[in-house]
A and B are shown apart, each in its own frame.
Chain A
Amino acid sequence: MKTKKQNKHIYWNPYFGGFLLGILIIFTFFITGRGLGASGAMKSSVVTIVDAAAPKHAEKNSYYSKFVEDGESPMNNWLVFETLGVLIGAFISGSLSGRIGWRVQHSPKITRRRRLIFAFSGGILFGIGAQIARGCTSGAALSGMAVLSTGGFITMLSIFGTAYLFAYFFRKNWI
């Protein structure tokens, strides 16, 4: 009998995952009145690190100073707690299906080093873009779309549109 070649990892049916994610977004809006987010926690960590390393500098910079308040750590933030939850939840799911392990995932055609360099530079771009657009795919696009926010739709279209436009140049990394 011919065995069908299959991916190693079996994930949820995407529609099922999407359905649960949609329910979670409704629940989040119902409880807190705001959507999900992810990059906000990274911003808080950066602000905290800079504030600890060079408090004078953080005070002078007009962007950090928005998030540094006297006597209140920028880490005491809804999004930071949510991010902690994301780490815990992903760990639970990964351990339930045995996906935990130190590894670098990359296409067999590229080296590990190249993958890491691209992951890093992609991260830098994402960090800058997420600040300019005031949110990433989850905060701006997904939660924005759930309340029909114009900005959310524009961000979503812009992210996916540009990614499709530039996909050709990065094809070696993935296929």
Chain B
Amino acid sequence: MVNRKLVRFLSFRYIILASILIVLAGGLVLLPKYEKREGISPETLLSNVISPERYITTDELADRIINQDPSLLLIDVRDKNNFNKYSLPNAVNIPLKNVLDVDSEPYLNQDQYDVILFSNDNLYSDQAWVLCNRKGYKNLHVLKGGINTWFSTIINPKQPTEDMPSNAFKQYAFRKAASMYFGVAYPKKAQKQAVITKNTNTVSVPKKIVPKKKKKKMPVEGGC
């Protein structure tokens, strides 16, 4: 009896197999569609946003540049004009609208360098930071206050008044020294000097940046 039932069942086996295939393929059609998220989840992004590591102060940056920290990669997200007028030494220009381009990915998406984004103030660099963070890039920082703060603190530091704590004087001394390093002899002429500074800086040999090699996708063609 059992055997006969089995035989009858087996005579339908191709129909059963075919319907399994159709159900599986139909399942694909009926699957609820969702936009594939690229990069990190919104929760991680939010926690990154409030993380203190997001910003780097101008002092810290100046210190690292002076010490010739090899792991530093400066990225200027302003447009080309501004970049040509003045930028930090050895900075790479990736305008905000090009941040997600394929060409800029090797610079931004890597783990060897600390990437420091800056613009005139925080605004554009913050936007670039959010864009890149969303894609899951690591080691991204924003220069707090951007070029403007860079000028007001490093290039042209304010002299502390007598009633300020000693820390402020220490800081001032450091900033003065830093501004000397960046080619400003007299703080008063800072604005004017800065333009010249830029010239000398860009002429000097730019730091060699080795973008992270893209993973080799496939060997030579002729796949067969």
Q: Which of A92-100, A102-110, A135-143, A161-169 is the contact stretch?
A: A135-143
| 8 Å CB contact of B223 from A15, A66, A67, A143 | A143
Chain A at the B interface: SS class: helix
Residues of B within 8 A of A33 (CB): 217-218
Whole-angstrom distance from the CB of B64 to the nearest CB of chain A? 39
Of the four ranges (under 10, 10 to 19, 20 to 34, 35 or more), the interface on chain A belongs to 20 to 34
Q: Quick one: which of B173-224 are within 8 Å of A by CB? A: 217-224
Closest to A16 in B: B17
Q: Which of A1-9, A37-45, A53-61, A113-121 is the contact stretch?
A: A37-45
Closest to B14 in A: A15
Whole-angstrom distance from the CB of A164 to the nearest CB of chain B? 22
Residues of A within 8 A of B220 (CB): 66-67
Q: Is the CB of A34 within 8 A of B224?
A: no
Q: Is the CB of A34 within 8 A of B17?
A: no
Instruction: State A34–B222 Cα separation when bound (angstroms).
Output: 12
Whole-angstrom distance from the CB of A114 to the nearest CB of chain B? 28
Q: Is the CB of B224 within 8 A of A135?
A: yes
**Which of B218, B219, B220, B222 has the most chain A CB within a 10 Å cutoff?**
B222
Residue A130 lies at the interface, judged by CB distance under 8 Å to chain B: yes
Residue A27 lies at the interface, judged by CB distance under 8 Å to chain B: no
Instruction: State A38–B217 Cα separation when bound (angstroms).
Output: 20
Residue A160 lies at the interface, judged by CB distance under 8 Å to chain B: no
Whole-angstrom distance from the CB of B60 to the nearest CB of chain A? 42
- Give A residues with C-beta under 8 Å from B: 15, 33-35, 37-40, 43, 66-67, 77-79, 130-131, 134-136, 138-140, 143
- Give B residues with C-beta under 8 Å from A: 14, 17, 217-224
Given A34-B223, A77-B219, A134-B221, 13 extra CB contacts under 8 A: A33-B217, A34-B218, A38-B224, A39-B224, A40-B222, A43-B222, A66-B220, A67-B220, A131-B222, A135-B222, A139-B223, A139-B224, A140-B223
30 of the cross-chain contacts (CB-CB < 8 Å) are: A15-B14, A15-B17, A33-B218, A34-B218, A37-B223, A37-B224, A38-B224, A40-B222, A40-B223, A40-B224, A43-B222, A66-B220, A67-B220, A67-B222, A77-B219, A78-B219, A79-B224, A130-B224, A134-B221, A134-B222, A134-B223, A134-B224, A135-B222, A135-B224, A138-B224, A139-B223, A139-B224, A140-B223, A140-B224, A143-B223
